[in-house]
Structures are given as structure tokens and as C-alpha cells.
Amino acid sequence: MTGFSAARPAPVPVLTLGDILLVTLQGDLHDGAAEQLQHDITHRIAAGPGPVGGVVIDVSGVDIVDSFLGRVLAEIAANARLLAARTVLAGLRPAVAITLVELGLTLPGLVTALNVDDALARLGRTPSAAPPSHPEEGA
């Protein structure tokens, strides 16, 4: 739309925790940045330095999830599933959840978790607070 000719916003950093990709979204996410993120994650899973078993998207710092971002999140999950990685959406705020439901965006294909700890547990990894150990089987 309007933002394409302007200076591109800083891309969202994608962190690697073992074989998990951790993405923390903050504040207002630009449409272009969201698409860039989708592209980055897909490439990291398919051709990244190491194998990727899961993707955790932390949205606890996001105030507004509109229909576009909702669709991008669902597409990231669908892409990851095609590449044999599971995606967990973590830390959705109550107000954002209510808005999404009122908009009719229930994100049916996405696994959700209360926070990043729970998301890691859901992917079969012990939370970060636990002493270092090998990831348990049963993902």
C-alpha cells in the first residue's frame, strides 16, 4: 500500500533455541514486516543452519491483532506444518483474544499457549527455568 517505498521497518528478529525458533512480536507490526517475518521463518525452517522442530510466536507485547496479522499467523503455521514443524502462538492478551473472537477470527489451525514457558512445554521441551537436559521424547 503506502509503506513500500518508505524506509523498510527493522525486520523482526528470529531467535534459535535448540531446534525451536522463537519470535517475539512487539507493538504495532507493519504489514510489510509481517510478510517479511513469514518469509524469514519459512526459509529458516527449510534451509536454516539447523533442523527446526517447532516455532513459538510470542504475541504478549502486541496490542492489536487485525485480520491481516491473523491471516499471516495462520499462514506461518500452515507453512511450518508443511515443513514438519509445529507452531505455537503464545501470550495472547485477553483483550486481543476477545477482539479476535468478535471479528470471527478464531485461528482454528493454530496451537495456542498461555506464555512462552507453556508453549515450550507444549512442544515437548522442558521450560527454560529447568536445569539443562536433553529434550524429552514425545513431541
What's the start-to-end Cα distance of the chain, in Å? 41
Q: For the purposes of burial, counting CB atoms within 10 Å of the CB of 117, is it exposed (0-12), middle (13-18) or buried (19 or more)?
A: middle
Give min distance, CB of 112 to another protein, in A: 4
Give min distance, CB of 89 to another protein, in A: 8
> Which one, 78 or 101, has the nearer CB to another protein?
101
Rule CB under 8 A: say whether 119 interacts with another protein. yes
Window contacting another protein (CB under 8 A); options: 8-16, 31-39, 94-102, 124-132? 94-102
Rule CB under 8 A: say whether 138 interacts with another protein. no
Classify each residue of 36-52 as buried b or exposed e, where b means 16 or more C-beta atoms within 10 Å of its C-beta: bbbebbbebbeebeeeb
Number of DSSP helices (H) and strands (E) in the chain, helices first: 4, 5
Out of 17, 82, 83, 101, the residue judged to bind another protein by CB under 8 A? 101
The amino acid at residue 128 is S
36 closest CA partner among 57, 13, 2: 13
Window contacting another protein (CB under 8 A); options: 42-50, 76-84, 107-115, 127-135? 107-115
Report the interface residues with another protein, using CB under 8 A. 89-90, 92, 94, 97-98, 100-102, 106-108, 112-115, 118-119
